[in-house]
Amino acid sequence: MKKLPEWLINLAKKNKCPRCGSDIDINNIMGVGMKESSTKKGKDIMFFEYFCTNCEDVFLFELNFAPTEDILASILGSEGDGDFEGKPVAKSGITDREVGELKKFLKGCKYFEDFLLEIGVPKSDIEKYGKKIDRKEK
Separation between Cα atoms, residue 58 and residue 89, nearest integer Å: 31
The per-residue pLDDT for range 100-134, each reduced to its tens digit, is 887 888 888 888 788 788 778 888 888 877 655 55
CB-based contact 82:76 (threshold 8 Å): no
| Per-residue model confidence (pLDDT) at position 88 | 47
| Per-residue model confidence (pLDDT) at position 22 | 93
Separation between Cα atoms, residue 41 and residue 45, nearest integer Å: 10
Q: Tell which wins on pLDDT, 99 or 72.
A: 99
The per-residue pLDDT for range 55-73, each reduced to its tens digit, is 988 988 887 765 556 666 6
The per-residue pLDDT for range 27-42, each reduced to its tens digit, is 998 888 878 877 877 7
CB-based contact 4:26 (threshold 8 Å): yes
Instruction: Pick the closest to residue 80 from 66, 69, 68, 93 (CA basis).
Output: 69
CB atoms within 10 A of CB 77: 10
CB-based contact 46:30 (threshold 8 Å): no
CB-based contact 127:121 (threshold 8 Å): no
The pTM score is: 0.47
- Where exactly are the structural domains of the chain? 6-76, 96-137
